[in-house]
């Protein structure tokens, strides 16, 4: 018997009319055992909900399954706005079955039109992903801490986020940088763990170093915006011991942290992915709040996002 899509965790706290409207954008797909629904390197622009059958998440080189999806399981890009190239696994059908596919662009339109509904979907998505994480308590603690910082206000949410990540994941160094209109020059908005004299000496210099070399270079503050956009598609990026998150509309402000220890030691690769997923929806909220500020509607939109995130989050 097929899974009742209305019981899917993603839609758990939506009203029937809201759920029905979202599902108008959905597409049902049928798969057979052996079919590959997702390949490494694909642009993951959809949310998949398994309604019948079983799928296995495998590493292409070994074909060894390390994740299973049965009826009711969901996967998809944690960032509700843009696709990412970061995944290296593939998902193949273990048995015949069906799945419901929802375009992330449709979800993004919901978020833009209705902040409360958008926050609910983001929170539901986080909950579903968190339930698949081996280090569930650590991830929930991270999410709770970030939510608390947003609710308390006072300090810049960007600074507060980096400060919290610093304490939770033993961040060694952290930056908030802003690019000028041309994208070739950056300004340091906030820094943790850097010498102030050194910061002053490199402030506003033209970029000549890609982001992946930021923390291995003797001149760690020079970031090439064009290369960053081409490689990482301007989405929250998490790899090894570095995390970069866009913090403004127009992708001109970024937060970047260097962790004292790689994410897979002591944390597993699943925990690393969960950190990425936890920060992605947070980033979406911050982007919307900052965009509203730029258009002089900051307090209204920010209040609606934060209050909705607080009231509708199943994790609270």
Q: Determine, yes or no, domain membership for 216.
A: yes
Contact of 268 with 67, CB cutoff 8 Å: no
Least confident of 26-30, 209-213, 251-255, 279-283: 209-213
Contact of 36 with 84, CB cutoff 8 Å: no
Quote the pLDDT of residue 30: 92
Q: Is the pTM of this model over 0.75?
A: no
Domain boundary pick from 65, 80, 113: 113
Q: Which of the four pLDDT bands, split at 50, 70 and 90, describes residue 87?
A: very low
Least confident of 17-26, 86-95, 149-158, 263-272: 263-272
- Statement to judge: residues 302 and 172 lie in one domain: yes
Residue 33 sits in which domain range?
5-113
Quote the pLDDT of residue 96: 93
Quote the pLDDT of residue 118: 60
- Statement to judge: residues 104 and 140 lie in one domain: no
- Statement to judge: residues 221 and 91 lie in one domain: no
Quote the pLDDT of residue 32: 92
Q: What is the tens place of the pLDDT at every residue in 231-247?
A: 333 344 445 555 555 55
- Statement to judge: residues 61 and 144 lie in one domain: no
Quote the pLDDT of residue 128: 57
Question: Considering its fold, how many domains does the chain have in total?
Answer: 2
Q: What is the tens place of the pLDDT at every residue in 134-169?
A: 344 444 455 455 455 445 544 454 455 555 555 555
- Statement to judge: residues 71 and 139 lie in one domain: no
Q: What is the tens place of the pLDDT at every residue in 31-71?
A: 999 888 776 555 456 777 888 888 877 765 555 555 567 77
Pairwise pLDDT comparison (100 vs 71), residue with the higher score = 100
CATH of the domain at 253: 3.30.450
Domain boundary pick from 113, 142, 161: 113
Quote the pLDDT of residue 179: 56
Region 215-226: mean pLDDT is 31
Q: Determine, yes or no, domain membership for 278.
A: yes
Domain boundary pick from 113, 145, 175: 113
CATH of the domain at 12: 2.60.120.10
- Statement to judge: residues 234 and 182 lie in one domain: yes
Residue from 37, 33, 75, 39 nearest 53 by CA: 33
Q: Determine, yes or no, domain membership for 129.
A: no
- Statement to judge: residues 288 and 161 lie in one domain: yes
Q: Give the C-alpha separation, 153 to 248, whole Å.
A: 17
Pairwise pLDDT comparison (105 vs 144), residue with the higher score = 105
Backbone angles phi, psi at 227, to 5 degrees: -65, -40
User: In sequence order, what are the residues at sequence separation of 6 or more whose Cβ sits closer than 8 angstroms to the Cβ of residue 6?
Assistant: 16, 19
- Statement to judge: residues 63 and 167 lie in one domain: no
- Statement to judge: residues 186 and 281 lie in one domain: yes
- Statement to judge: residues 140 and 184 lie in one domain: yes
Q: Determine, yes or no, domain membership for 79.
A: yes
- Statement to judge: residues 96 and 145 lie in one domain: no
Q: Determine, yes or no, domain membership for 120.
A: no
Quote the pLDDT of residue 91: 78
- Statement to judge: residues 271 and 143 lie in one domain: yes
Q: Determine, yes or no, domain membership for 25.
A: yes
Q: Determine, yes or no, domain membership for 124.
A: no
Q: Determine, yes or no, domain membership for 258.
A: yes
């Amino acid at each position: 018997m097929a899974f009742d899509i209305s019981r899917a965790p993603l839609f758990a706290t939506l009203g029937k009319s809201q759920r029905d409207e979202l599902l108008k954008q959905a597409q049902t797909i049928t798969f057979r055992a052996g079919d590959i629904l997702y390949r490494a390197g694909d642009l993951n622009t959809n949310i998949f909900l398994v309604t019948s059958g079983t799928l296995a998440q495998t590493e292409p080189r070994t074909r060894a399954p390390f994740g299973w999806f049965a009826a009711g399981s969901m996967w998809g890009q944690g960032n509700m706005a843009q696709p990412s190239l970061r995944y290296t696994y593939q998902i193949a059908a273990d048995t015949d079955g069906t799945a419901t596919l929802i375009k992330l662009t449709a979800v993004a339109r919901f978020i833009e039109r209705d902040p409360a509904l958008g926050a609910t979907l983001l929170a539901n998505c986080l909950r579903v992903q968190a339930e698949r994480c081996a280090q569930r308590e650590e991830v929930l603690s991270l999410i709770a801490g970030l939510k608390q910082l947003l609710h308390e206000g006072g300090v810049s949410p960007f600074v507060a986020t980096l400060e919290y990540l610093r304490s939770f994941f033993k961040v060694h160094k952290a930056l908030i940088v802003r690019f000028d209109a041309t994208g070739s020059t950056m300004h340091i908005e906030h820094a943790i763990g850097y010498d102030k004299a050194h910061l002053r000496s490199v402030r506003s210099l033209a970029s000549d170093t890609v982001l992946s070399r930021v923390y291995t270079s003797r001149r760690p503050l020079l970031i090439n915006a064009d290369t960053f956009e081409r490689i990482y598609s301007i989405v929250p990026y998490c790899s090894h011991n570095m995390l970069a998150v866009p913090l403004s509309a127009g992708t001109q402000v970024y937060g970047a942290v260097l962790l004292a220890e790689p994410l897979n030691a002591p944390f597993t690769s699943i925990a690393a992915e969960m950190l990425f997923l936890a920060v992605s929806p947070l980033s979406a909220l911050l982007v919307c709040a900052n965009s509203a500020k730029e258009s002089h509607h900051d307090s209204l939109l920010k209040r609606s996002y934060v209050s909705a995130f607080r009231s509708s989050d199943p994790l609270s």
